[in-house]
Amino acid sequence: MGIYADELAAIRAAKSAVRNGGQNVRYKDRQVTMADYAALCEDEKTYMSLAAQEARIAAGGGRLGVTYVTPR
């Protein structure tokens, strides 16, 4: 897996933990609560795009571009 794909998996695991009753879950260096679920959804959208681009590049398609992502 690539860097973005790994991050996407971590985001999805955090979303699942919050959704399945864990009011507080640790994601990276922050504590995530049910109130932060929307932020996780936004992060997921961002990383889905980046992971797809990363997979295309790894498969030999597309061009390597610079993408700037500001973490929340």
- Is 63 part of any domain? no
Mean pLDDT of 41-68: 81
Output the pTM of the full model.
0.62
Other CB atoms within 10 Å distance of the CB of residue 71 = 9
| pLDDT of 59 | 81
Write out the residue range of the structural domain in which residue 37 sits. 3-58
- Is 40 part of any domain? yes
CA 61 to chain CA centroid, Å, is 22
Percent of the chain with pLDDT over 70: 75
Q: Both ends of the chain: CA-CA distance in Å? A: 23
As given in the structure block, the two tokens for residue 16 are 């699942």
- Is 71 part of any domain? no
- Is 69 part of any domain? no
| pLDDT of 23 | 67
| pLDDT of 47 | 92
- Is 68 part of any domain? no
Dist CA 34 CA 38 (whole Å): 8
The type of residue at 22 is G
Total domain count, the chain: 1
| Cβ pair 25, 14 in contact under 8 A | yes
